[in-house]
Structure 1
Amino acid sequence: MPDLSFEAACRDRGFKVIAGVDEAGRGPLAGPVVAAAAVLPEGFQCAGLNDSKKLSAKRRELLFTVLTEDPSVRWAMASVESEEIDRINILRATHRAMAEAVRLLGADVEHCLIDGLPVAGFPVDHQGVVKGDGRSLSIAAASIVAKVSRDRMMLEWAREFPQYGFERHMGYGTKAHLEALQRHGPCRIHRHSFQPVAQCSLLFEDEQG
């Protein structure tokens, strides 16, 4: 289970305001990539807080409410939409969303714990923590905020584009999603730079043409 060891080590180095940073939605074929940043108070405790991928949707929603309604927890979320992902690529889009989430937290953030590898050119002093969402409570909190925020966005898109079943797969490349792409072609929130979408788009255009 994640704990505050990384945060404590940062405080020992003189940092006072330390943000955990994580993202959700790098892999899907549709929808935005969402990043979140969270600053937890020293000694923070939250039963069951863990990597969002290890939790049920119901548990994530509960933890999201606990975190976002706790006045001692600072958090922010930012997203980059599919059109921008296509324009600058998913890695740069992810880093842009992360940087924006940290910016929204405030200028007093001194150090970031980022899930994964360090980010070149990141605007705040930081370190990468591999599998950090299962090791750092701050990153775990950010992972919950990012994942639940993105899922809620995809549920909204599911109402506009019911033919794709976004409410079931959240835009990931499941068999059902690929079959829907082949039947209907991509919609405006699909990532056309992702090969399965590009291929389906070409096939759909050929069939329609």
Structure 2
Amino acid sequence: MLPNKNTESKYIKSGYGQVIGVDEVGMGCLAGPVVVCAAYFDKLFYLGKSKNLENVNDSKLLSAKRREVIVEELIKIKYFKYKISFCQPKTIDRLNIHKASKLAMKRAVSGLARGTRAMVLVDGLHEIPSLKIKQRTITKGDSKVFVIACASIMAKVYRDKLMAKYAKKYPKYGFEIHKGYGTKQHYAQLMSIGPCAIHRKSFRLL
């Protein structure tokens, strides 16, 4: 079952000016930043349909090509707005990955929220600390709620492109392939040549 717009529509109908979905990518990686996207559609979007977005799903369930196509379509929609934020490995090591991801979420949402009445739909179990906007956590929200799924895809595509750039700077690790996750290839390279500047030193790398 694909994510739907029922949750957002409910809040729009009850008077919320913005329904913002937020999700992160890269929590479990050994290298690279944790990336967050906060996104919302103007309420006029919910009055119509977009054929190009019918197959939106949790980013983990889509091919890289499909994710890129969806991102291209999203940025063409005049009713769609988004904000990307991320925390680099040094911040992750200083705060821990959970606090760093929530910090990135807070920055992304704060950069997107207007003065209107807003509701933030957060993927996962834990709220964003110290956020002065109403929020609701939704377990597996990226597979249930349309706007969270869109945020998930935006974050994933952004991070994948960022890791491809890092692959050129650190060509021996294969970042363009595993994107910093703990694959056999990645662990083998760590055993062989050790970590580089974008590895998370607070993680168990070896």
Q: Does the pair score TM above 0.5?
A: yes
> What residue in structure 2 maps to residue 5 of structure 1?
6
> What residue in structure 1 maps to residue 153 of structure 2?
144
User: In structure 2, how many angstroms separate the alpha carbons of the residues matched to 1:23 and 1:75?
Assistant: 13
Give the C-alpha shift of residue 9 in structure 1: 2.0
Please identify, of 112-121 and 137-146, the stretch whose mean Cα deviation from structure 2 is larger: 112-121
Give the C-alpha shift of residue 52 in structure 1: 0.4
- 1:171 alignment partner, one of 162, 172, 180: 180
1:42 aligned partner, one-letter code:
Y
Consecutive unaligned residues in structure 2, runs of 5 or more: none
RMSD: 1.3
2:203 aligned partner, one-letter code:
F
Matched positions, count: 197
> What residue in structure 2 maps to residue 115 of structure 1?
123
Misfit runs of 4+, over 6 Å = none
Conserved? CA contact 1:7–1:18, under 8 Å:
yes
Consecutive unaligned residues in structure 1, runs of 5 or more: 201-209
1:88 aligns with 2:95: yes
TM-score (norm: length of structure 1): 0.90
1:42 aligns with 2:46: yes
Give the C-alpha shift of residue 103 in structure 1: 1.6
TM-score (norm: length of structure 2): 0.91
1:126 aligns with 2:129: no
Where 1:21 maps in the other structure, the secondary structure is: strand
Conserved? CA contact 1:17–1:108, under 8 Å:
no
Question: Sequence identity of aligned pairs in percent?
Answer: 41
1:52-91 pair list within 5 angstroms = 52-91=59-98
2:58 aligned partner, one-letter code:
D
Give the C-alpha shift of residue 47 in structure 1: 1.9
Structure with higher helix content: 1
Where 2:137 maps in the other structure, the secondary structure is: strand
